[in-house]
Amino acid sequence: MADDTRIPFFAEGVAAGFPSPAVGELNGTLDLNRLCIRHPAATYFVRARGDSMTGAGIDDGDILVVDRSVTVTNGTIIIASLDGEFTVKRLDMQGRKVRLLPENPAYSPIEITAASGAEFFGVVTYVIKSMHASN
């Protein structure tokens, strides 16, 4: 898709509950780069693998938009490296205790210690998912 492709944008919204009789009005176009990428030099995309974050709406195969310039804070979903392995988890900081929390009860929290060599590689700002299986 070229950078100048214009995608129609209906800002009024679509009812996810009871259908609205209102007719959608075109409000211009929406640039997905401007919407999803606030800091281009600090942003990257990564594909999610596995099911440890399904409770947060992150499913296997989703594309995550990650911004390294966003401050990592308690409760944010981050990309972390543990012993050279990358993972996406929710950050939980309680005093001196730091954990990476899955959003699926089938998985256990990961305790972060000085010895674990954990590094944080950005905050997940958007999740891009396909709602239609392509052939």
Of 52, 69, 81, 116, which residue is the catalytic one? 52
Answer yes or no: 134 catalytic: no
Say whether 41 sits in a helix, a strand or coil: helix
* E strand map for the chain: 43-47, 63-67, 77-82, 85-94, 97-101, 110-112, 119-128
Catalytic residue among 20, 81, 89, 97: 89
If 0-12 CB within 10 Å is exposed, 13-18 middle and 19+ buried, where does residue 64 land?
buried
89 in catalytic set: yes
Residues noted as catalytic? 52, 89
